[in-house]
Chains A and B, each alone.
Chain A
Amino acid sequence: MADQALHAQPASTDGQTRRDFLLYATTAVGVVGTGLALWPFVHSMNPAADTLALSTTNVDLGAIQPGQSVTVVWRGKPVFVRRRTPDEIATATKDDGAELRDPSKDADRVKKPEWLIVVGVCTHLGCVPLGQKPADPKGEFGGWFCPCHGSHYDTSGRIRKGPAPANLPVPPYEFTSDTTIRIG
């Protein structure tokens, strides 16, 4: 083929090495350069600055009575804030010793036992569990029940029954005063 004939090099290994080096160096620069050029495209799909700026939510706890729950939005997801009754706290603590799929002590899941704050997204496939409103089914363990595929969560937001693999996660939060928290 004409192509190969034109490629024929003098037998000198010196020339071969130099040409190979140039080829590899050029290819390497090309590959690295293309990769660097593609990064801005990929990174543009990551959360933008204004999206990141929305990643904290302040909640006033003052109006919430014992046994009541509110749902707040944090990073586009519902966060369950429940003011637990002494009964619910007692059940949750007692069940620390029960057989748990995702073992975790109730004390490790709250900052103040009265206030349970969990992300209200079922760890199975992302539905929002029921149990925030008084009339909602709360599942067999008095916490939350996910209607999509039947996961039951207890009064500490731990998975007790059903397909979900993990407890409702506790978001990072802190008490900014006795009656306000900042999530995120």
Chain B
Amino acid sequence: MSGFKTDNKVIAWFDERLPIFSMLQHSAVEYPTPKNLNYWWNFGSLAGLVMVIMIMTGIFLVMNYTPHTTLAFDSVERIMRDVNYGWLLRYVHMNGASMFFILVYIHMFRGLYYGSYKSPREVLWWLGVIILLVMMATAFMGYVLVWGQMSFWGATVITNLFSAFPIVGEAIVTWLWGGFSVDNPTLNRFFSLHYLMPFVLFAVVFLHVWALHTSKSNNPLGIDVKSPQDTIPFHPYYTIKDLFGVGVFMVFFLYFVFFAPNFFGEPDNYIPANPMVTPPHIVPEWYFLPFYAILRAFTQDILFIPAKLQGVIAMFAAIIVLFFLPWLDGSKVRSATFRPLYKQFFWLFLADCVVLGYVGGKPAEGVLITIGQLATAYYFFHFLVLLPILARIEKPKPLPASISAPVLKGGGMAAGATAQPMEKA
């Protein structure tokens, strides 16, 4: 907290008692940030922005929403037709959910490419995985609140996942429902939790940023900051870069809000929930599709484990495996830029996830079943077999001496040597 000075006596008085201004100065203004961050580093702050937009639109939507099976659907339609700008709030919230996942998935794949999960950022990565889990739970429950056909049957299918567990499965599902089917008690508790979870999310995001500011940002070269000349202050350099990203992102986001608001949605969800009729083809929201494909990939009972349970375990494992990633990938080199083999397998893994997403959105029939099973196998193969092997056999390219070295031609001396004369008074 070195740099904060002010001539304003009121601010100084306040800051002595609660150092908010010092903290902001320390962590948002002079915060030393690697000077080589590229645009892939915009996505964290963009996700944070969308979280704020989601919480704001959500709070205002609740003012006109009724969590009851007989009224929920109509209250949403009333928001669309009668409430001033209700259509805007809802379309922003609806598309905001998709945007949140787009941003977070890009943010995660950036982390995978540049090895942002490796020491000393393991806890930062864990918190990110927890954020993903909380987001998934929140998004799922929010989708149910609309109480359309997809809401209802999505809720039915997803809660039934827990029935796969032996012995206690049925009891768990009854407990989740608060009855013998998805009904009003279910809707009410989902509403309560959908309001709660974003604040839990906010708290975990706070920890995520705290962990970030403790271990500091990774960078495209994946090497440590060696001297102050490798960094620039966060403000104005990255505030302005983040803001520019916000501008570009908002164009993308608002295109959907204004011109294709139901692009990410399912038409069936504009039919009120009917517990007597399941729609012929039910799919989860797009951001769950890869996991949905993994769930459906298991079709054969193995010994005493039924296919249903395998699918459920595999689906959860697909996320749990991310917690172990920092140790599965033992390579000391972070950035894929210097890992010729990993770089190729990174893209193959990304393609695999896209294939899983595609398969997850199609009916489970014909050759797609086999493709889904192969893609599922490869997903786990990547983490559990490929990454540990690559760490042992791959020969990384030589790393630059410092972040500054590649751009200061011939200046790639030992960091300590260059740091002294360059350091500004």
Q: Which residues of A contact B57 (CB under 8 A)?
A: 41
Q: Which residues of A contact B391 (CB under 8 A)?
A: none
Instruction: Pick the most buried of B83, B235, B424: most chain A CB atoms within 10 A of its CB.
Output: B83
Interface residues of A in 35-49 (CB under 8 A from B): 39-41, 43-46, 48-49
- From residue A151, how far is it (CB to closest CB) to chain B in Å? 33
Which one of A3, A5, A44 contacts B63 once the chains associate, using CB atoms below 8 Å? A44
Q: Counting CB contacts under 8 A, is B81 at the interface?
A: yes
A5 touches B424 (CB 8 A): yes
Interface residues of A in 14-39 (CB under 8 A from B): 39
Q: Which residues of A contact B81 (CB under 8 A)?
A: 49
Q: Which residues of A contact B64 (CB under 8 A)?
A: 44, 48
Cα A155 to Cα B235 in complex, Å, equals 70
Q: Provided the pairs A44-B85, A50-B78 are in contact, do residues A2 and B63 lie with their beta carbons within 8 angstroms?
A: no
Interface size on A, residues (CB 8 A): 16
A2 touches B424 (CB 8 A): yes
A40 touches B85 (CB 8 A): yes
Q: Counting CB contacts under 8 A, is A1 at the interface?
A: yes
Interface of A is mostly: helix
Residue of B nearest to A23 (CB): B236
Q: Which residues of B contact A39 (CB under 8 A)?
A: 85
B84 touches A50 (CB 8 A): no
Q: Provided the pairs A40-B88, A41-B89, A44-B64 are in contact, do residues A3 and B233 lie with their beta carbons within 8 angstroms?
A: yes
Q: Which residues of B contact A3 (CB under 8 A)?
A: 3, 29-30, 233, 235
Q: Counting CB contacts under 8 A, is A6 at the interface?
A: yes
Q: Which residues of A contact B56 (CB under 8 A)?
A: 41
Interface residues of B in 39-56 (CB under 8 A from A): 56
- From residue A35, how far is it (CB to closest CB) to chain B in Å? 14
Interface residues of B in 64-92 (CB under 8 A from A): 64, 78, 81-86, 88-89
B78 touches A48 (CB 8 A): yes
B83 touches A44 (CB 8 A): yes
- From residue B405, how far is it (CB to closest CB) to chain A in Å? 20
Cα A41 to Cα B53 in complex, Å, equals 11
B232 touches A44 (CB 8 A): no
Cα A46 to Cα B3 in complex, Å, equals 46
Q: Counting CB contacts under 8 A, is B302 at the interface?
A: no
- From residue B253, how far is it (CB to closest CB) to chain A in Å? 12
Cα A3 to Cα B88 in complex, Å, equals 41
Which one of B3, B30, B82, B88 contacts A49 once the chains associate, using CB atoms below 8 Å? B82
B3 touches A44 (CB 8 A): no
Cα A3 to Cα B31 in complex, Å, equals 10
A6 touches B232 (CB 8 A): yes
Q: Counting CB contacts under 8 A, is B19 at the interface?
A: no
Interface residues of A in 101-152 (CB under 8 A from B): none
- From residue A3, how far is it (CB to closest CB) to chain B in Å? 5
Q: Provided the pairs A41-B60, A48-B82 are in contact, do residues A5 and B425 lie with their beta carbons within 8 angstroms?
A: yes
Cα A48 to Cα B82 in complex, Å, equals 5
Q: Which residues of B contact A1 (CB under 8 A)?
A: 3, 30
Residue of A nearest to B236 (CB): A7
Cα A3 to Cα B29 in complex, Å, equals 9
Cα A40 to Cα B425 in complex, Å, equals 49
Q: Provided the pairs A2-B424, A3-B29 are in contact, do residues A48 and B86 lie with their beta carbons within 8 angstroms?
A: yes
A2 touches B85 (CB 8 A): no
B85 touches A6 (CB 8 A): no
Residue of B nearest to A39 (CB): B85
A40 touches B89 (CB 8 A): yes
Cα A75 to Cα B228 in complex, Å, equals 66
- From residue A68, how far is it (CB to closest CB) to chain B in Å? 37
Cα A40 to Cα B53 in complex, Å, equals 13
- From residue A124, how far is it (CB to closest CB) to chain B in Å? 29
A45 touches B63 (CB 8 A): yes
Q: Which residues of B contact A40 (CB under 8 A)?
A: 84-85, 88-89
Cα A46 to Cα B233 in complex, Å, equals 44
Residue of B nearest to A46 (CB): B84
Cα A41 to Cα B56 in complex, Å, equals 8
Q: Which residues of B contact A49 (CB under 8 A)?
A: 81-84
Cα A1 to Cα B30 in complex, Å, equals 9
Q: Which residues of A contact B86 (CB under 8 A)?
A: 44, 48
Residue of B nearest to A50 (CB): B82
Using a CB–CB cutoff of 8 Å, the interface residues on chain B facing chain A are 3, 29-30, 56-57, 60, 63-64, 78, 81-86, 88-89, 228, 232-233, 235, 424-425
Using a CB–CB cutoff of 8 Å, the interface residues on chain A facing chain B are 1-3, 5-6, 39-41, 43-46, 48-51
27 residue pairs A–B, Cβ–Cβ below 8 Å: A1-B30, A2-B30, A2-B228, A2-B233, A3-B3, A3-B29, A3-B30, A3-B233, A5-B424, A5-B425, A6-B233, A40-B84, A40-B89, A41-B56, A43-B85, A44-B60, A44-B64, A44-B83, A44-B86, A44-B89, A48-B78, A48-B82, A48-B84, A49-B81, A49-B82, A50-B78, A50-B82
Instruction: Give me the 6 closest cross-chain CB pairs, A-B, nearest first.
Output: A40-B85, A49-B82, A48-B82, A50-B82, A43-B84, A48-B83
- 18 additional A-B residue pairs with CB within 8 Å, beyond A3-B233, A44-B60, A46-B84: A2-B30, A3-B235, A6-B424, A40-B85, A40-B88, A40-B89, A41-B60, A43-B85, A44-B83, A44-B84, A44-B86, A44-B89, A45-B60, A45-B63, A48-B82, A48-B84, A49-B84, A50-B82
